């Protein structure tokens, strides 16, 4: 018996909803995007992806890459309604649900044997399809990180389950950047030393790990070996603190946005201190000039209330949003997955 975590992620969510509701779109390259001149692709159907059409790509570039692209305007109210149906399935089948976005969640699959965990994931996939007509991909593993990597690896309409004991073998050939906590900068540095895969990382000795990661070395190694003790943490609204700013004029300059994130991080750090709490999740919210809303969030290895750590995570989220100079109307920062008390530098993997 193992405690399993499942990760579910609907395939090309917005685009799949559009195709579901307009069968004439079936089999065609579809992009969901706003109508403004500077609109970006919010989601691309799998038929559009071979052309190189991707989320966050400016729409005019997507049209150049794929002239027959069918562009559909987003319908947020509809996505929210569908999202509620999907999360109702997660809640009915799983023991705890940690939502990551409208169409993506970790689900605690509980203590069971491997076959039963796979069956649970298959049941969720079938129930979501029955309820909404959408396909959801699933990853099952003994930890969150591997469950998420697995569901990404089997998209679309897939189920990939990693048997307990196989975690390290599954991770070894993957690029180091797939590990949580290793951003593009660290990945470049590792690659320049010939460390390409997660397996290469595991092969490093302790002093090399310390050199690359300082005090985190031992934990990064645990994660690289597939030992990931983080449990599914259901989030309640009261467990997050946020702040946001609407600009008088749309902002395009990244330095200006970064300065706003810095101020917001300081504010959130103060609030966390007052609440005597630490946060495990940092997220940002962006409202673009075309009023489309974009969120990015990141999970920290350790809970924190340090302004610097919140700021760094928020900036990483901003970079991942790939705004490329698109106008921003509103920018917000949010800390969530709060834990009580002053965060201690206790090894994550020792606190099971």
Terminal CA-to-CA distance of the chain, rounded, Å? 17
The rounded distance, in Å, linking the Cα atoms of 16 and 22 is: 10
CA dihedral 292, 298, 303, 304 (to 10 degrees): -60
| Residue span binding Mg ion (CB under 5 A) among the ranges 3-11, 189-197, 284-292, 323-331 | 3-11
Which of 10, 44, 48, 176 is close enough to bind Mg ion by CB under 5 A?
10
Q: Which of residues 281-310 bind Mg ion (CB under 5 A)?
A: none
Which of 3, 7, 8, 9 is close enough to bind Mg ion by CB under 5 A?
9
Which residue number places its CB atom closest to Mg ion?
A: 9
Which residue matches tokens 């685009």? 15
* Residue 213 found at the interface with Mg ion (CB under 5 A): no
* Residue 103 found at the interface with Mg ion (CB under 5 A): yes
| Strands 159-161 and 136-141, sheet pairing | parallel
Q: Which of 98, 104, 233, 302 is catalytic?
A: 104
* Residue 134 found at the interface with Mg ion (CB under 5 A): no
Burial class (CB in 10 A: 0-12, 13-18, 19+), 341: exposed
* Residue 32 found at the interface with Mg ion (CB under 5 A): no
156 prior amide bond cis, ω within 30: yes
Q: How far is the CB of 155 from Mg ion (least distance, A)?
A: 8
Q: How far is the CB of 40 from Mg ion (least distance, A)?
A: 17
| Residue span binding Mg ion (CB under 5 A) among the ranges 101-109, 122-130, 150-158, 222-230 | 101-109
Residues 6+ apart with CB under 8 A from 139: 6, 7, 146, 147, 148, 149, 150, 151, 152, 153, 154, 159, 160, 161, 162
Q: Of 83 and 304, which CB lies nearer to Mg ion in the complex structure?
A: 83
Q: Of 13 and 87, which CB lies nearer to Mg ion in the complex structure?
A: 13
Q: Of 4 and 13, which CB lies nearer to Mg ion in the complex structure?
A: 13
DSSP-assigned letter for residue 206:
H
| Residue span binding Mg ion (CB under 5 A) among the ranges 17-25, 96-104, 299-307, 316-324 | 96-104
To the query of whether residue 245 is one of the catalytic residues in this protein, the response is: no
Question: Residue ranges of the alpha helices (H) in 276-343?
Answer: 307-320
Q: How far is the CB of 9 from Mg ion (least distance, A)?
A: 4
The rounded distance, in Å, linking the Cα atoms of 17 and 28 is: 14
Site for Mg ion, rule CB under 5 A: 9-10, 13, 103
Residues assigned a catalytic role: 104
């Amino acid at each position: 018996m193992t405690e399993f975590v499942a990760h579910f992620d609907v395939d090309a969510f917005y685009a799949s909803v559009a195709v579901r509701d307009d069968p004439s779109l079936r089999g065609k390259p579809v992009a969901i995007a706003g109508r403004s001149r500077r609109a970006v692709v919010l989601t691309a159907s799998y038929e559009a992806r071979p052309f190189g059409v991707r989320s966050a790509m400016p729409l005019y570039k997507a049209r150049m890459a794929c002239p027959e692209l069918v562009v559909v305007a987003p319908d947020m109210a509809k996505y929210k309604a569908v999202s509620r149906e999907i999360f109702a399935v997660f809640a009915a089948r799983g023991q705890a649900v940690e939502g990551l976005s409208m169409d993506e969640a970790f689900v605690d699959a509980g203590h069971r044997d491997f076959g039963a965990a796979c069956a649970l994931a298959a049941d969720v996939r079938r129930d979501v399809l029955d309820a909404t007509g959408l396909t959801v991909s699933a990853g099952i593993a003994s930890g969150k990180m591997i469950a998420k990597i697995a569901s990404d690896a089997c998209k679309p309409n897939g189920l990939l389950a990693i048997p307990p004991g196989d975690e390290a073998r599954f991770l070894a050939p993957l690029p180091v950047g797939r590990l949580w906590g290793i951003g593009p900068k660290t990945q470049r540095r590792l690659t320049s030393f010939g460390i390409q895969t997660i397996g290469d990382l595991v092969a490093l000795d302790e002093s090399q790990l310390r050199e690359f990661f300082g005090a985190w070395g031992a934990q990064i190694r645990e994660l690289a070996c597939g030992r990931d003790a983080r449990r599914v943490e259901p989030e309640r609204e009261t467990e997050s603190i946020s702040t946001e700013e609407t600009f008088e004029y749309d902002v395009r300059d990244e330095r200006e946005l970064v300065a706003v994130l810095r101020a917001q991080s300081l504010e959130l750090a103060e609030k966390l201190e007052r609440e005597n709490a630490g946060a495990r999740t940092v997220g940002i919210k962006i409202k673009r000039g075309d009023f489309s809303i974009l969120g990015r969030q990141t999970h920290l290895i350790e809970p924190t209330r340090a302004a610097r750590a919140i700021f760094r995570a928020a900036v990483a989220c901003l970079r991942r949003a790939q705004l490329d100079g698109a106008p921003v109307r509103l920018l917000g920062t949010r800390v969530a997955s709060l834990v009580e008390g002053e965060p201690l530098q206790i090894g994550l993997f020792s606190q099971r």
